[in-house]
Amino acid sequence: MFEGIIGHDFQKNILLRAARDNLVSHSYLFAGPDGIGKKMVAVEFAKLLNCGRAAPGPEEKCGCASCRKIEKGIHPDVVLIEFTGVRNIKVDQVRDEVEERLYLRPFEGRFKVVIVDESERMNHSAQSAFLKTLEEPPPDSVIILVSSRPDSLLPTLRSRCQTVEFNALPDDLVAGVLRERAGVSPEEALLSSRLSGGSIGKALGLDDGLLEWRRELIARLGNIRKNSASDITSLSEHISSAASQDETERLELGFRFIMLWIRDLALARIGSDRITNTDFLESINNAARKWDVNDLLEMERQVERAWYDIVRANANTKLVLDNLFLKLSVNAGMN
């Protein structure tokens, strides 16, 4: 169980012990940063709860019929709800997918397990429907809400769940995996692990093309001229230009890189050595001199706000980007 999932030993042990000692909660909240393996741990936990063997070891891969079915996503008692591309989880979907399944008798497993990935995307009525289920949980059911933004869940919903906090994986651990699996140099591995915020999946997704795209982005940010319309436009265009990514992923990456760059300026300002963009040290130190730390923190908020406007409020992407880079050019631009 849990084989192949790197890190999160403390969390795995909590779950292994709960299963071994028959102290499984009806509802869990797996909370922690995006992309670090929370959903994978939840699926492994579902396997553990329904495994046909008495006591599978922590790092042992089990090939029993139940584990294999869960792995393939065809176990009748285990439901994984993912909402890729859909902004809000509708209340009807929760009723159909979850309640009906939960209140049926188990077909073959010991536990009926419902995993909701990105559960914060449920709208309020969907969350309320869930709350009712959590208040009177069907016997032998386990609901696992997975979320990188648990504060977007109703407090009443959160308080019904046993929270398991997950942390970003340490840089050197992610870097080690990258060196092993992708065969990159130690410097590159460390850079990729920092750029991806402790997510192995994201770090592995950073191919040469994307890293080059990022280098170009950081170089342009560092060279932006005050109020230069052409610099602003070319930055906006650059964000939309990375190949091999869909639009949302590319934007998300772009925003993450801009955010990390701004954070680096703040770190440089206070003399910290935790800088992410280590290949741009000189340019970051130069740019940092133009800023006051408070203005940098305000700029971080502006970037977050811009991302929110695009993703949640459906604002025009080009307009939002132009505005953002205009603010950057006013504050950071060279004359």
| Residue 28 CB partners (closer than 8 Å, separation 6+) | 42, 142, 143, 144, 145, 161, 162, 163, 164
**91 is a contact residue toward Zn ion (CB under 5 A):** no
Residue in 6, 14, 40, 64 binding Zn ion, rule: CB under 5 A: 64
- Please say which residue, 109 or 254, places its beta carbon nearer to Zn ion: 109
Q: How far is the CB of 331 from Zn ion (least distance, A)?
A: 57
- Please say which residue, 70 or 157, places its beta carbon nearer to Zn ion: 70
For Zn ion (CB under 5 A), the number of binding residues is: 4
- Distance, in Å, from the CA atom of 298 to the CA atom of 272, rounded to the nearest integer, reads 19
Choose one: 19-27, 59-67, 92-100, 129-137; the region binding Zn ion (CB under 5 A): 59-67
Neighbour-count burial for 303-320, b at 16+ CB within 10 Å, e otherwise: beebbebbeeeeeebeeb
Q: How far is the CB of 164 from Zn ion (least distance, A)?
A: 21
**48 is a contact residue toward Zn ion (CB under 5 A):** no
Q: In what order do the strands lie in the sheet with 162-165?
A: 78-81, 112-116, 141-147, 27-31, 162-165
Q: Yes or no: say if 86 and 25 are a contact pair by the CB < 8 Å rule.
A: no
- Please say which residue, 69 or 160, places its beta carbon nearer to Zn ion: 69
Tokens read off for 47: 């396997």
Q: How far is the CB of 182 from Zn ion (least distance, A)?
A: 31
Q: Which residue, 42, 71, 75, 72, is CA-closest to 146? A: 42
- Please say which residue, 44 or 118, places its beta carbon nearer to Zn ion: 44
Query: DSSP labels for 155-204?
Result: HHHHHHSEEEE--PPPHHHHHHHHHHHH---HHHHHHHHHHTTT-HHHHH
**1 is a contact residue toward Zn ion (CB under 5 A):** no
- Please say which residue, 109 or 222, places its beta carbon nearer to Zn ion: 109
Neighbour-count burial for 112-138, b at 16+ CB within 10 Å, e otherwise: bbbbbbbbbbbeeebbebbeebbeebb
State the residue for tokens 């992309």: 35
Q: How far is the CB of 200 from Zn ion (least distance, A)?
A: 24
**102 is a contact residue toward Zn ion (CB under 5 A):** no
Choose one: 8-16, 56-64, 215-223, 309-317; the region binding Zn ion (CB under 5 A): 56-64
**267 is a contact residue toward Zn ion (CB under 5 A):** no
- Distance, in Å, from the CA atom of 333 to the CA atom of 118, rounded to the nearest integer, reads 38
**43 is a contact residue toward Zn ion (CB under 5 A):** no
Collapsing DSSP to helix, strand or coil, 22 comes out as: coil
Cα 16 → chain centroid: 24
| Residue 327 CB partners (closer than 8 Å, separation 6+) | 299, 302
**70 is a contact residue toward Zn ion (CB under 5 A):** no
Residue in 16, 51, 122, 143 binding Zn ion, rule: CB under 5 A: 51
Q: How far is the CB of 108 from Zn ion (least distance, A)?
A: 13
Q: How far is the CB of 82 from Zn ion (least distance, A)?
A: 23
Residue in 62, 122, 253, 328 binding Zn ion, rule: CB under 5 A: 62
Collapsing DSSP to helix, strand or coil, 12 comes out as: helix
**168 is a contact residue toward Zn ion (CB under 5 A):** no
**31 is a contact residue toward Zn ion (CB under 5 A):** no
Choose one: 62-70, 102-110, 208-216, 280-288; the region binding Zn ion (CB under 5 A): 62-70
**175 is a contact residue toward Zn ion (CB under 5 A):** no
**16 is a contact residue toward Zn ion (CB under 5 A):** no
Q: How far is the CB of 48 from Zn ion (least distance, A)?
A: 8
- Distance, in Å, from the CA atom of 8 to the CA atom of 124, rounded to the nearest integer, reads 30
Q: How far is the CB of 47 from Zn ion (least distance, A)?
A: 6
**67 is a contact residue toward Zn ion (CB under 5 A):** yes
Indicate the DSSP class of residue 149: -
Interface residues with Zn ion (CB under 5 A) are 51, 62, 64, 67
